Amino acid sequence: MIKAFQIISILEGISLLLILFVTMPLKYGFDNHGPNQVIGMAHGLLFLTYVVLAILVKYELNWNFKTLLIVLLCSIIPFGTFWMDKQYLKGKA
């Protein structure tokens, strides 16, 4: 479960960065909505999977509520999931 969460967290982080730095400028700067729809859908699915896996991993690693809250907040901060992986998951899988 931890390895799956690591993979999803990295993919979710990449998808957030793609939205912020690629698809949003294309959408609002060049009126190109296509990439935002595709990446946005993928990001939504990855985000939901991230949340579910974070809750499951909480029990596997005996995280307290504060740690779970930090891990969940990392999903909405650019580069947050990469930091979270190093802080809370490195060497656990």
How far apart CA 13 and CA 75 sit, in angstroms, is 7
How sure is the predictor about 90, in pLDDT bands with cuts at 50, 70 and 90? confident
Cβ pair 37, 28 in contact under 8 A: no
> Would you call 7 helix, strand, or coil by DSSP?
helix
Tens of pLDDT along 78-87?
A: 999 999 999 9
How far apart CA 76 and CA 58 sit, in angstroms, is 18
pLDDT of residue 93: 66
Domain count for the chain, please give it.
1
Domain residue limits at 40: 2-89
Which residue matches tokens 């799956």?
4
Q: Which residue has the higher pLDDT, 92 or 55?
A: 55
For 38, 46, 83, the CA distances from 69, given in Å and listed in that order, are 28, 18, 14
